[in-house]
Homo-oligomer: A and B are copies of this chain.
Amino acid sequence: MVKNTTKSIEDYLEAFYILYINKEPLESARVSRFLGVSRPAVNKATHELTRLGLINKTPYSEIAFTPSGKRIAKKVYHRHMIIKKYLLSLGVSEKNANRDCCLIEHVLSEETFKKIENLVK
């Protein structure tokens, strides 16, 4: 969905978005804990997200989505929820649904995703 750079930079964007919808501060340390990676890893990712024009950030500040960053974050999150819902509907456990979902959400073709989305609706 986004031209890749780091870990599938979308994971980081999505994590910030989840903090956002939960009305939590958009801090690197929270994303670090949420994704289970080190703070430097998040720091690098935020630099990359800034370079890609998806967020705005100055040193020691909270991050803020750019319009396109927010649009993409919303889309990634939506994909995540649809795929998770779908896996749960297959009878997959919550734990594995979350796990598999995170692993496949960034790689599924738009075509396959649309088919799944229709099944869930």
Contact = CB atoms under 8 A, between A and B. Distances in A.
Interface in A6-48: none
Nearest to A91: B115
Q: Is the interface of A mostly helix, strand, loop or mixed?
A: helix
A2 interface: no
Contact of A108 (B104, B112, B116, B119): B104
Q: So how many copies of this chain end up in the complex?
A: 2
A92 to B, nearest CB: 5
Interface size, A (range): 10 to 19
Contact of A96 (B92, B93, B111): B111
Closest 10 pairs between A and B when the two form their complex, measured CB to CB: A103-B107, A90-B115, A96-B109, A96-B111, A104-B104, A92-B112, A100-B112, A100-B109, A92-B111, A100-B108
